[in-house]
Amino acid sequence: MAQIEHPAVTNFRNYIRIKTVQPNPDYASCTKFLEGQAKELGADCQVVECVPGKPIVLMTVVGQDPDLPSLLLNSHTDVVPVFPEHWKYDPFSAHKDEKGDIYGRGTQDMKCVGIQYLEALKYLKKEGHKFLRTIHLSFMPDEEIGGIDGMAEFIETDIFKKLKVGFALDEGYANPTEKYTVFYGERTVLWVYVKCPGQPGHGSQFLPNTAGEKLQRVINSFLNFRSQQKQLLKEDKDLNLGDVTSVNLTMLQGGVQFNVVPSELCVGFDVRVTPTIGENKFEDMIKSWCKEAGDDVTYEFKHIAPGSHSESKDEYPNLTCVEDGKNPWWDAFSQACKDEGIKLVKQIFPAATDCRFLRKVNIPALGFSPMNKTPILLHHHNEFLNEKIFMRGVEIYTTIIPTLANLKI
Ligand code: ZN
């Protein structure tokens, strides 16, 4: 006989069924759903549109001392596209199989977390909990396409500044083991375009100062660095992808015809810089590689998302301190996890999330999606989350949220 489903799970499945899929997310239905959630929770709710048609749903549970810096629980409402032919079930049906695995786009990334925050707060409120600090929940649009019309715009507004956010939680991803992963930083995307000018001429000669020779040196420098980083990752079992810098040659341009030495050849690289190297140090490396490659070799950065390239000269501007005893927010978070009996693995997120915008304005932020014993399926076909793991996540937040919201500093 089918067991009665927990209302939190039903709520989660209903959220999955709203097609907030890029490139045309149904934000209108999503906003309506979330407004209903706010009502159920008894939270204040406002809808902010920095860009028309891209709603940010902001809920607020006022604390006993609203002057204290607040706690922000962030999640995004949009999900990445699907290829339904590769799915076992309709990706927007939230199908639950006999094991309790719920299939759907957004089950891991990251509608689970949005609902877990809400369900944990509903539970705590029902139990009569009061919080010292104000708690805000932000449901952001467009994270999956870079957050430009979402978080990047939002943090510039007076509405955001008035939230006085002291600490934020945002997304992480699943861990297939017993442990849970927490992310304290992320890599920066740099798209580097290098131009190698040279002496043009006939293809039969040994001309000096050719574009091809310079291009060769540039490619060697970037790809040698790539090999070193790849090796580092392979040899050190403690390192993860986010701890090293990845480099990929993704563009090559130039040439007129076979027997003509061109006046210019260009190459483009996709680089993901780990915060322990940092953009500034990496840019210094690019400068020296271009100089070594020959005369007049220049570089530029293409299409860098606002906020992703730091002007800051801080040593590690994109990292939230996760050393014990040095950051009270971290201490509170890790204590809550200990109280829940869960083991954490600290990592740097290998790609970009909305967290980067928060960290840029000096808000400490952790990426955490409480899913253990779950394969990492964000952006994959057949993304699923088991209902027991989901419910355990709600329970974990019922400890984490009050510990952070009642932090006295
Ligand atoms: Zn996500």
The H-assigned helical ranges of 272-386 are: 279-293, 328-339, 355-360
Q: What pLDDT does 284 receive?
A: 97
What is the 123 CA–ligand 1 centroid distance (Å)? 25
Contact 308, 356 (CB under 8 A): yes
pLDDT of residue 93: 98
pTM of the model: 0.86
pLDDT of 2 reads: 59
Q: Which residues are catalytic?
A: 78, 143
C-alpha of residue 135 to centroid of ligand 1, in Å = 21
| Residue 57 confidence (pLDDT) | 98
CATH 3.40.50.920 fits 7-186+318-405, yes or no: no
Per DSSP bridges, beta strands 56-61 and 246-254 are: unpaired
Class of domain 188-302: alpha beta
Residue 9 buriedness (CB in 10 A; 0-12 / 13-18 / 19+) = buried
Check if 7-186+318-405 and 188-302 are the same fold: no
- CA of 255 from ligand 1 middle (Å) equals 41
Domain ranges of the chain: 7-186+318-405, 188-302
CA 13 to centroid of ligand 1, rounded, Å? 17
Q: What is the DSSP string of 133-159?
A: S-EEEEEES-GGGTSTTTHHHHTTSHH
So what's the pLDDT on residue 317? 57
CA dist list (Å): 290 to 195, 272, 293, 294: 9, 19, 5, 7
- Predicted local confidence at residue 306, as pLDDT: 45
Residue 80 φ/ψ region, left for φ over 0, alpha for ψ in the -120 to 50 degree band, beta for the rest: beta
State which residues of the chain have pLDDT below 70: 1-2, 303-317
The predicted structure's pLDDT at residue 315: 42
Ligand 1 centre distance from Cα of residue 167 (Å): 19
Rounded Cα distance, 23 and 221, in Å? 37
